[in-house]
A and B are shown apart, each in its own frame.
Chain A
């Protein structure tokens, strides 16, 4: 019986298909033929195309249902509140594209022009792209295997005419698989500022965050920090706090201390957040003084500070 190869050297490695751990892997012949090692020309094309994009941020989570897309949507809303900041939100959750609904753009279609696909603009300074815009019905399922999803991601990065953008936010599905590898691979020449990892407080979620952090280290993706969602719930009637997802091992705070990674903030569970998302509205506008909105704003500011401190070399030259 086949053992599952654990020490995969990576499809681009010189040992691909030839290493001892490759024996028995279904991809062994493909890798050994060298097909995995040849650089994809799209990587350079994407680097060129995204020269007009200053900062690229990946939003990751180990687990599903922790509020990653909600966070991505509100990161986009928050950054775009300054009308001089150009924001782009790219949804690469191919099977579960929830960004169009959250942004109130359900039913919108993508148009093509001479310079490529046009994103759907919510505001003049906030453009969105998602496979959701390519589906004709809300019941349509995208039943695609990895290679086809990867092709779509390549197109999103290479063929969308983003224009001059200050922040490109890439919302991902949960996990560490095709979509994540493809996003990192295709953006490898274009410089990603870093990843924001979303979690909820309980250990079952944190376990997957550790894997996500391990993924970031493996693919050399800088980590901007961790956001702990659904931290605490305040009862609207008696105003007392409850921990619905108890931090049995200290929550994201302890994890971040242990792994020396910044904790960007903790967002309390607020029923208004879900309601705003369902209506396709910005929760930051619907409930601007709520503790959750203030938490979001604090986190967004820290992300902006990180991006400001870590400008790629070319931009230092241009601005000096």
Chain B
């Protein structure tokens, strides 16, 4: 999604070198995807092996000076999530952004995710409602394809901040597929103001720390 497919991970004295996705070296990335010889190869691992890799990703990657480490997780409340919380605990994680889509079936699962955060002592920065409505490019009618309102209700029920709704935009999907910079190319997109507002709320919660 960040146009980094096929890149290799190198080692230095400080550990694995993360892959930089831009010239300015403002965003770097680490993923098991970089360790696969073939992108179609399945990673058929049970929990313990996944846990070991996650620990390595936190402690053995030479991240350098970072303002923000964003950890993308799979759905669920299992090995990967517990391993991540355990590995990051010594570093005082800021918290979790919990993403849902609007419909009740999705919210039903994400409620459990919020319980996971509570039980593991992970602060919830807020709930984001994704795929929140689609504006028809032909007639501008907005349809709630995946229902509406679930994210805000969930945040209210759980007593956590609601950070915002991001509408569906096929240009966002296309950009990710083609590895383009969505924010630079589509500032007119309906998704852009939503994404920007959410990012700004996170920045307000935790401005980049002065070393």
Contact = CB atoms under 8 A, between A and B. Distances in A.
B49 A140 contact: no
B170 A245 contact: yes
A178 B46 contact: yes
A218 B77 contact: no
B43 A64 contact: no
Chain B contact surface mostly: mixed
Nearest to A203: B177
A147 B46 CA distance: 9
B141 interface: yes
Contacts of A174: 74-75
A145 B47 contact: yes
Contacts of B81: 143
A142 B178 contact: no
Contacts of B49: 5, 8, 25-27
Given A235-B136, A240-B138, A64 B74 contact: yes
Given A141-B119, A269-B145, A101 B136 contact: no
A98 B114 contact: no
A193 to B, nearest CB: 21
Interface in B34-55: 35-37, 39-53
Contacts of A180: 44
Interface string B87-111: 0000000000000010111101101
Nearest to B61: A1
Interface residues of B, number: 66
A138 B170 contact: no
Nearest to B171: A246
A294 to B, nearest CB: 19
A278 B150 CA distance: 11
Interface of A: 1-2, 4-6, 8, 25-27, 64-65, 69-70, 94-98, 101-102, 138-147, 149, 173-178, 180-181, 202-204, 207, 210-215, 218-219, 233, 235-238, 240, 242-246, 248-249, 269, 271, 274-275, 277-278
Interface of B: 1, 11, 15-16, 32, 35-37, 39-53, 56, 60, 74-79, 81-82, 101, 103-106, 108-109, 111-116, 119-120, 134, 136-139, 141, 143-147, 168, 170, 173-174, 176-178
* Nearest 3 Cβ contacts at the A-B interface: A146-B47, A141-B115, A95-B76
